[in-house]
Structure 1
Amino acid sequence: MATSTNTAILQGVRIIDLTSIIFGPLATQMLGDLGADVIKVEAPEGDLLRQVQPSRHRLMGAAFLGANRNKRSVVLDLKTQADRDRLRKLLVDADVMISSIRPAALARLSLDPETLRNENPSLITVFATGYGQDGPYASKPAFDDIVQAVSGLASLPTLRDPEAKPDYSPTILADKLGGVTTAYAVMAALFHRERTGQAQHVEVPMFETLTAFLLAEHMDGATFDEVPRNFGYARMLVPHRRPLQTADGFITILPYTNAQWARFFKTVGRNDMIDHVWVTDMDARSRNIGAVYDMVAHIALTRTTDDWLDLMEQADIPAMPVRNLSDLPNDPHLAATGFFQRIDHPSEGPIWTTRPPIRFLATPARHDHRPAPRLGEHSDEILGPGRE
């Protein structure tokens, strides 16, 4: 908890959170971790994520607990004029409004950025949308699987193997990347307002965000095409780019520089490779990276995982074992840094959570200041009692 000598970095910033599921809530949780006062506005039925199992109690699912700490919850039915007026009253004193409600619906409720900024010129408005509002997809609904599909992410397995079928990444990557991007966009808008005195509207479209992220490397040869066609970063797509099977498990060994490749082959007794063009010339290695990885895969089978870890540490070559998620609580590094934390939730009892990964020495983030709220837990505290 922040003190007078150790103030959280966003202390005093009030954020009205009109988001649900993961995209927006992850962003506002990150901002809450940094000290912002996040007021989560929920419909009477609550954020849909509350219902996702497992849970100990109704409307307090594990996924909801994982994306909604450091927030206060109020219930408002925005279909009613009275609750829209209550929301507008909250927004008059707020710094930021983040919404995942479709912009057209907000406009019908007179909650569009222009109207709100007339009432509070300092209000930064943020739309966490599925698609940019200047394109033909603007009004389409978007969820993580939908955006993984349309962005090209789901089709990456077919670039590696033409006979493979498209597949989703087994994590909600579009939602989570959108959340991280929204959090930094809010920080940038707050900095701009601090520097210039001007608030602004910010749009974070999930589709464009994931596509830009994906094409950072996969633009590849298309960068130089007259009409972009040659997409796909070859090193990521060769069939042998996968964890290596050892004599007793799996490991990732990743020589990268010429010097590291030379040390690797020297360590495994393949002195014939030290002066090979695949070792001495990164361009030649890149063009033949599948064959190089295939060679390493065969060599990996000759030793145990622990033997490889010892050898690679001695040779100063990056290497780590392949973990299961269930292994992570026993990982020595995560244990030493206190990454997993067990806290007492007021209604859910003892639960496990993770601490924010970023360290601010002067303004530390907080993970246990305010556990994820029950639906409407803070309605009286924020809106006042007797609102009927």
Structure 2
Amino acid sequence: MTAPTGPLAGIRILDLTSVLFGPYAAQILGDWGADVVKIETLDGDMWRYAGLFRNRGMSGQFMAVNRNKRSLALDLKHPDGKTVLQRLIPTADVLLTNVRPAAMARLGFGYDACAALNPRLIYAAATGFGQDGPWAARPAFDEIIQASSGLASSIGSDDEPQFVPSLIGDKICGQALAGAVSAALFSRERSGRGQLVEVPMLETIAGFNSIEMLGGYAFDPPIGPAGYKRMKERKPVRTKDGWMTMLPYSGDNWCAFFAAVGRPELIDTLQVRDPVARAENIDRIYAAMAEIAPSRTTAEWEELLLRLDVPHTAFAKISEIGEQEHLKAVGLFEAIDHPSEGSIRQARPATRFSEAPPNLHRPTPRLGEHSREVLLEAGYSTAEIDALVEAKAVGEG
């Protein structure tokens, strides 16, 4: 363990979230220096047991979104467990939860109850659906949001929707939640007051997806079909010995590309100079590029396109991403010596702060690893903690 150095050093967060959306947001805030206390049930966050692991309860997926946290195992259905959380809330700057709001209220930890304990508290609710809508009480998971937001239709089609094979909704919303909490903390610096922050998944992803995908439906009445034709036409192209993505973007890019490959007549035939005509012809333009691509090897294309300043890249295998030239040079993936899990690999915080650089200051905790430490800080005596553990109100690892 090292001291946190990020811009949120000194901020304390109670993280009552599980799986991915909330924990990812809390980890970002922890990476940025916050003291994050992850409050888990006595059985632990279910994400601990998802995916591959060396030791039960410490899966790679769990460790990827729960570093820079301390773990307190607490039974909030036990009266003594509730008392512990009530005692911790006045010490916190932020409470994060992805427990459905009605359930939090039944536990006695809805926004109003928590604000009464700490008026400066930022109470951040990670919800599936906005709480002022008819779907407020529904459960939500990533695929539910991909389906209901229009994202799956955009990736596939209206007739045959497809999911992004990644928990993209959870991760995007986690980043949105981390930003929202930071903004609320800044607001509190000016007003002195805490507030309720809600980041609903459906609204966040529907808005995110709509930027380009509304297409002609961005106008009322619509002036054309929904969707972004250019994205449907952008596909990997096969080279002589592999695959690439070539992305000439501007008129100058396309002119330079077709001239360099000995097909200058396509500049006028496909009208690549005019942005409107280029957009209308984009399927023919990409088809021409795909026809030309097998004439060179991937390395030959990279040399040519780099010289032309045309956006491009070869494809990286996920199993080899740590060896990708740029990511290896910037040291994105770090080897971490975890005290119980041995050597693991994780991506360091990507965001840079020149005056307060984020750091990896705590390894991912075992379930209840810091229960005793956190309660001692809250003023409990060793005997009181022993009694809480004996009563199964608190668990320790």
Question: TM-score, normalised on structure 1?
Answer: 0.95
> Which residue pairs with 1:252 in the alignment?
245
CA distance in 2, matches of 1:67, 1:340: 14
**Are residues 306 and 227 of structure 1, via their aligned partners in 2, closer, same or farther at CA, if it must alter by over 3 Å?**
closer
AA partner of residue 59 (structure 2): G
> Which residue pairs with 1:178 in the alignment?
173
1:134 is the counterpart of 2:129 = no
> Which residue pairs with 1:332 in the alignment?
325
CA distance in 2, matches of 1:35, 1:2: 11
> Which residue pairs with 1:100 in the alignment?
98
Q: What is the Cα deviation at residue 8 of structure 1?
A: 2.3
> Which residue pairs with 2:370 in the alignment?
378
Contact 2:322 2:333 in 1 (8 A): yes
Contact 2:40 2:74 in 1 (8 A): yes
> Which residue pairs with 1:262 in the alignment?
255
User: RMSD of the alignment, in Å?
Assistant: 1.6
AA partner of residue 217 (structure 1): E
3-state SS of 1:279 partner = coil
> Which residue pairs with 2:232 in the alignment?
237
Structure 1: stretches of 5+ with no match in the other structure: none
Deviates further, 325-334 or 308-317 = 325-334
Structure 2: stretches of 5+ with no match in the other structure: 377-384, 392-397
Runs in 1 of length 4+ with deviation above 3 angstroms? 227-230, 274-277
Per-residue deviation, residues 240-288 of structure 1 (Å, max 9, x unmatched): x201111110001111111111111111111213344621101001011
> Which residue pairs with 1:166 in the alignment?
161
Deviates further, 354-363 or 220-229 = 220-229
Deviates further, 27-36 or 317-326 = 317-326
**Are residues 34 and 235 of structure 1, via their aligned partners in 2, closer, same or farther at CA, if it must alter by over 3 Å?**
same
CA distance in 1, matches of 2:114, 2:354: 36
Question: TM-score, normalised on structure 2?
Answer: 0.92
CA distance in 2, matches of 1:298, 1:228: 33
AA partner of residue 263 (structure 1): A
CA distance in 1, matches of 2:266, 2:143: 44
CA distance in 1, matches of 2:284, 2:94: 52
> Which residue pairs with 1:45 in the alignment?
43
Matches within 5 A, 1:143-158: 143-158=141-156
**Are residues 364 and 2 of structure 1, via their aligned partners in 2, closer, same or farther at CA, if it must alter by over 3 Å?**
farther
AA partner of residue 315 (structure 1): L
Per-residue deviation, residues 158-202 of structure 1 (Å, max 9, x unmatched): 43xx76x32211110011011000000000000100122121100
AA partner of residue 115 (structure 1): A
CA distance in 1, matches of 2:164, 2:284: 26
Contact 2:115 2:121 in 1 (8 A): yes
**Are residues 383 and 229 of structure 1, via their aligned partners in 2, closer, same or farther at CA, if it must alter by over 3 Å?**
farther
> Which residue pairs with 1:68 in the alignment?
66
AA partner of residue 142 (structure 1): A
Per-residue deviation, residues 312-367 of structure 1 (Å, max 9, x unmatched): 01111111001111221211211111111111111111111111111111111112
AA partner of residue 178 (structure 2): A
AA partner of residue 240 (structure 2): A
Report how many residues are paired.
380
- 2:186 equivalent among 174, 185, 191: 191
> Which residue pairs with 1:223 in the alignment?
218
AA partner of residue 308 (structure 2): A
- 2:275 equivalent among 258, 282, 306: 282
Q: What is the Cα deviation at residue 92 of structure 1?
A: 0.9
Per-residue deviation, residues 43-85 of structure 1 (Å, max 9, x unmatched): 0110000011210111111100100000000011111111111
Contact 1:10 1:34 in 2 (8 A): yes
Contact 1:2 1:8 in 2 (8 A): no
> Which residue pairs with 1:120 in the alignment?
118
1:291 is the counterpart of 2:284 = yes
